[in-house]
A and B are shown apart, each in its own frame.
Chain A
């Protein structure tokens, strides 16, 4: 469906993306994940046609699209700040692309009403000025405006980053459901690993313009291909050389996900290495607590579900179990 073939993007002397190669399948929810300034938005804007790559080709549906004007690529885009036209009402915003195409009035009304229903915008909201809407409502308008032209591809540039935490979770689910319903190929840019893991079919992790790994959320999390991916996605314990040696592993940078350290003897006890440490701190999170345990010079963090049992005291000794197969080494 979408191919980035040896794409290079430079701004003057600065090379933002040196050599990007990606394949995105039809109907896929594909996420470009990475920290600020890693090149993910540049890749998205190149796909949208706002940036001309200095080298390489972009193919959409097998046809070259590198030099195609953005309006001819049949892509819809939701911008980070939504880019709603402040001088227009919600209806006028959604109908803007239809007006450009001289769509008849009746047809425009029908299409706008239809898409408004899909993104749960009411008739009353359609006649308001966009500035009168809440952030969540504005985001729906931006999505409706992008979808009303029935694009083949939907591009989303950090569309949830301006919303509060609770609304972000709610809209995350709605956005994923809408995408599944419409089956539209979606390229989503975010720096939020949780968003990427919960919404995506596949994720490309960017670092300094280079894709470090492409894979399903499970692959990215459990089999992180590089030290950067491992540390950027999910929480980790970095193991000290002494602990790595005790686990019988080679002396390399080693990481262990928090949930892979157990305070209880696991079912597969034969594979687990028992360790003893001292609790140095406890952080209460409500549903669970995180303990910091000093083991052989490693400050191992371990999560424990709050079951009503009295919490362990700071300074007390504790037994831990680690399966060396769960350790990620680079």
Chain B
């Protein structure tokens, strides 16, 4: 037997970890998805194209496919236009008040998904404050003006520039400033430098972000569901609708498979392009980027005006949500607010009524459990995969990335359809309809992101530390406990926090898998947007949203703010060394990751 395998088999811990990982992969990553394919194309054991025929004969389904494609293409343009602009005004150009602008644009880091869609709906929707206020002046205006394709594109454009804020900013910071100085020295203007030097250097990242945006558009669920109305429904809401009845479940599965296939193809293209080589700087000693002044006064004025208009667009929903959380829902829906309308009653209701607080608690428990389990388990898996490099561990690693290429909706649907009868892979239990299945889904979707970062965490620890411990006589477990674990712990804690955050307001998995008695927050928020009868819960949703923003903002500060300070602040040996090893890449936004774009 080859030496790497012998070394693995010498450790009982490695054997246990390997067996547990193989079981997890087979039971929750491979079997459900294969089962979904088999159920769709081989019902009753024989190949059948029935579901494909049904798809082609269903006008709703075909329209939803077209709408998804349209949304994906539109967003690829609009998000790039807005995203590149906000990155340039906050990180590249010298604009007065850039820090305040950044805070405004960064609001999407602390709220998104169903919360954001609901927020926009409560402000601009049929019963929204702005709509009501405008109606008071112009009674003839259509109350449904903010719905359909236009509303979905607007909301998703401003919601998904998060990837630009994180990844494009980071790529911009890596440009060697000397290349810009060299161009200027040769007489290039600000615009020419931007067009010929800066943007070409950013092209690979712009391409990557465009791909992510395209995928977000393709698999969008919450925005079309809440704001699309009956005229603009995309694949994901259709999958949800079709999955509710057993007669159309095969159609739901087929749509999910199409979504999955599209995702795989687009990601494969992206991987291929990425491998062609990306060089932000070829300098041995790169010089940090310095902000550029816009020399043309007219251009400077236009840029400033657009930047501040965008700031208002970004910041308004957040500010209004905070404001409305202190108001009675009647004041919001009538569009008339007086000083006497402000009250703490909504907070008292949420925090003082167990039934109202329940969705919040359910989501916190689910998110915390999933975050801790996935990090705790993968701590060992990442170590094994990183330490023993052979075909077996490489296969484990590849298979654990399955959720990365599959949309959450498909994973959820596959789980429902695979564990609805006793299954020997889980000890003969039925999981569909239980509280466990949502937890499993949460763990599954967080596996690739967690594994990648934990593995990077272990890889960032120099091998020589382990060699040093070994030559001093320490056994593997002692070395893991005393040397490696303390070093990887900050990374593990940060990943736990990020996972917790991103699951807190989940809707995509919950809507398929939640237990009726344990309704999570995403479901409760969505319910509050369902027409006139639920207007009372609007204020409760505002409070939920504020609480979520506080938690997400806090996590953001703990993970990025503190480490950022430690990295750039006063040299404190202990802190800076720890942070360097525990560094969480900027590729890991608070709520949502590149692996799992917010849909």
Instruction: State the A residues within 8 Å of B (CB).
Output: 48-50, 52, 69-71, 75-77, 79-81, 83-87, 96-97, 99-101, 128-133, 145, 149
Contacts and interface: CB of A to CB of B under 8 A. Distances in A.
Contacts of B3: 52
B576 interface: yes
Interface in B256-273: none
A85 B473 CA distance: 15
Interface of B: 3, 462, 464-465, 467-474, 478, 482-483, 486-487, 573-574, 576-578, 581
A126 to B, nearest CB: 15
20 contacts: A50-B467, A52-B3, A70-B470, A70-B471, A71-B470, A71-B472, A75-B471, A76-B471, A83-B462, A83-B465, A83-B467, A85-B465, A86-B577, A86-B578, A87-B483, A99-B482, A100-B472, A131-B576, A132-B574, A149-B473
Contact of A101 (B473, B486, B574, B578): B473
Contacts, number: 76
Shortest Cβ-Cβ A-B pairs, 7 listed = A97-B472, A131-B573, A131-B577, A132-B573, A87-B486, A83-B464, A83-B468
A140 to B, nearest CB: 15
A94 to B, nearest CB: 10
Nearest to A73: B471
A71 B474 CA distance: 8
Chain B interface helix/strand/loop/mixed = helix
Contacts of A96: 469, 472, 474, 482
Contact of B573 (A77, A100, A129): A129
Of the listed residues B3, B482, B487, B576, the one surrounded by the most CB atoms of chain A closer than 10 A to its CB is B482
Given A70-B471, A96-B472, A81 B574 contact: no
Contacts of A69: 470
Contacts of B473: 71, 97, 100-101, 149
Contacts of B470: 50, 69-71
B462 A149 contact: no
Of the listed residues B468, B471, B577, B581, the one surrounded by the most CB atoms of chain A closer than 10 A to its CB is B471
A48 B466 CA distance: 13
Nearest to A78: B468
Contacts of A81: 462, 464
Contacts of B483: 85, 87
A52 B464 CA distance: 17
A129 B486 CA distance: 14
Contact of A77 (B471, B487, B574, B581): B471
A129 B574 contact: yes
B471 A100 contact: no
A75 B3 CA distance: 25
B472 A149 contact: yes
Of the listed residues A52, A70, A83, the one surrounded by the most CB atoms of chain B closer than 10 A to its CB is A83
Nearest to A87: B486
Of the listed residues A50, A52, A87, A149, the one surrounded by the most CB atoms of chain B closer than 10 A to its CB is A87
